[in-house]
Amino acid sequence: MRASLVSIPCDLCGGDRTEALFQDEGFQYVRCTSCGLVYLNPRPTEEMLKAWYQSHGAASGEPFLQKRQEGYYTRYLENEEGYLLEGKRFLRQITDAGLMQGRVLDVGCAAGFYLSIFKKAGWESYGLELSDVFIRYACDTLHLNVQKGSLGEVTFQENFFGAVLMIDTLSHFTSPQGTLREAFRILKKGGFLLLRTGNKGSLSGKKSGERWGENWGAPEHLYHFSEKTLKALLEKTGFSIEHFQSYANVANLISPATLHLPDAVYRFHKVLRRPYRFLRNVLTVTLGRTLRHTPLSGTITVLATKPGRE
Ligand SMILES: [Zn+2]
């Protein structure tokens, strides 16, 4: 075992009895035998995880962190159009729930594409991010207010935000329960948490096992949630669930990893990348909703509120 790994109890129920599930990149995922939460155990120390986010492995000096991320930023920025479309959908979900404007925080905002949609619609926008490359892009190119740090390290006033976004970020936090408690604290009463995460309970989550879609692996994904464990976490931290939807994550289903195509095919052949992205975007829109109640559903989106009124 690597000397720098630490063993942890279950973040949801505090238990320490687990069963081994599968390995990824030499890391072990386990399931809590009391509550069912799936997590990486043992896992790298917080310092090592931070080094990973700052450099995506490149400059950390840790061999296991120097992995498959070449071209990560370029690929992310190239998909701006897709992220802006998603951002519009997130904005609509919150305005449909009755909140038209206010302060929004995007936790783990990456390049800031979602935030830019909210800002354009008149929201006072705040972002948190760990990667220097993304922070520079968000601040200099998109002129957003993005600070370096994770939720809890960077603190905000109590009852400050009308909405908090956590899109595909909860599984990266060392304590999802602590993170959700902090989100609850800084939200106004009646404010919204919009959260999206992968669904480990789904067929696509179970089927692809060790290579569960693109960028879903260790060490950055410390947790894999199911509907049951995510609901339990939200309820335990005080949230009231408004909408709970599982979507078919078509992007995962047709990703090179799920289809067992060599990554090189996707990464280095521009000819294939454009039609792949087009197909993925079309299928996400057309099939994502249709398949959401089937075992193919791979993503959970939750709209939750902090109960009460301002
Ligand atoms: Zn547990």
Answer for the pair 304, 239: CB distance below 8 angstroms, yes or no. Answer: yes
Q: Which residue has the higher pLDDT, 299 or 261?
A: 299
Amino acid 222: pLDDT: 92
152, pLDDT greater than 60: yes
**Given pLDDT bands bounded at 50, 70 and 90, which one contains residue 211?**
very low
pLDDT attached to residue 306: 97
Instruction: Please give the distance, rounded to the nearest whole angstrom, from the Cα atom of residue 8 to the centre of ligand 1.
Output: 11
Residue 90 pLDDT > 80, yes or no?
A: yes
- Tell me how far the alpha carbon of residue 82 lies from the centroid of ligand 1, in angstroms: 35
Strand bridging mode 187-198 / 297-305: antiparallel
Which of residues 90 and 203 earns the better pLDDT score?
Answer: 90
Ligand 1 centroid to 199 CA: how many Å?
A: 17
Q: In angstroms, rounded to a whole number, what is the distance separating the alpha carbons of residues 191 and 306?
A: 6
40 occurs within a structural domain: no
The rounded Å distance from CA 14 to ligand 1 centre is 6
Say if 58 falls within a structural domain: no
| pLDDT per position as a tens digit, 298-309 | 678 899 999 998
pLDDT band for 63, please (50, 70, 90 cuts): very low
Distances (CA, A) of 199 to 5, 224, 230, 244: 26, 7, 9, 12
Average pLDDT, the chain: 81
58 Cβ neighbours under 8 A, 6+ residues apart = 66, 69
Q: Domain for residue 13, yes or no?
A: no
What is the model's pLDDT at position 242? Answer: 93
C-alpha of residue 263 to centroid of ligand 1, in Å:
35
Domain membership of residue 286 (yes or no) is yes
> Does some domain include residue 310?
no
CATH number of 91's domain: 3.40.50.150
Cα of 248 from ligand 1 centre, angstroms? 26
Measure 276 CA to ligand 1 centroid, in angstroms: 39
CA of 9 to the centre of ligand 1 (A): 8
Ligand 1 centroid, distance to 167 Cα (angstroms): 23
User: If you measure from the C-alpha of residue 304 to the centroid of ligand 1, how many angstroms do you get, rounded to a whole number?
Assistant: 22
Q: What is the mean pLDDT of residues 115-136?
A: 94
Cα-to-centroid distance, 10 and ligand 1 (Å): 5
Is the per-residue pLDDT at 292 higher than 60?
no
Task: Compute CA 202 distance to the chain's CA centroid, rounded to the nearest angstrom.
Answer: 17
Whether 22 is in a domain gets the answer no
What's the gap in Å between 202 CA and the centre of ligand 1? Answer: 19
Q: What is the pLDDT of residue 264?
A: 59
Question: pLDDT band at residue 276, thresholds of 50, 70 and 90?
Answer: confident
Report CA(36)–ligand 1 centroid distance (Å). Answer: 6
Q: Structurally, how many domains does the chain consist of?
A: 1
Residue 34 placed within a domain: no
How many whole angstroms from 209 Cα to the centroid of ligand 1? 21
Nearest Cα to 288, choosing from 245, 247, 244, 243?
247
Average pLDDT in the 205-227 region?
Answer: 62
- Distance from the alpha carbon of residue 187 to the mean position of ligand 1, in angstroms: 26
Q: Is the pLDDT of residue 262 over 60?
A: no
Q: What is the pLDDT of residues 95-108, one digit of tens each?
A: 999 999 999 999 99
* pLDDT above 70 coverage of the chain, percent: 72
Q: Is residue 29 part of a domain?
A: no
- Structure-model confidence comparison of residues 85 and 26, the more confident one: 85
Separation of alpha carbons 279 and 183, rounded Å: 35
Q: Write the single-letter amino acid at 246.
A: S
Q: pLDDT grade, residue 58 (50/70/90)?
A: very low
Domain with 284 in it: 69-305
Taking the centre of ligand 1 as the mean of its atom positions, its distance from the CA of residue 18, in whole angstroms, is 8
For ligand 1, a single-atom ion, which residues have Cβ within 5 Å?
A: 10, 12-13, 15, 32, 34-35, 37
**261 CA from centroid of ligand 1 (Å):** 35
Q: Mind listing the pLDDT tens digit for each residue in 11-44?
A: 999 999 999 988 877 888 899 999 999 999 999 8
Distance 102 CA to ligand 1 centre (A): 36
Instruction: Please determine, for residue 60, whether its predicted confidence score (pLDDT) is greater than 50.
Output: no
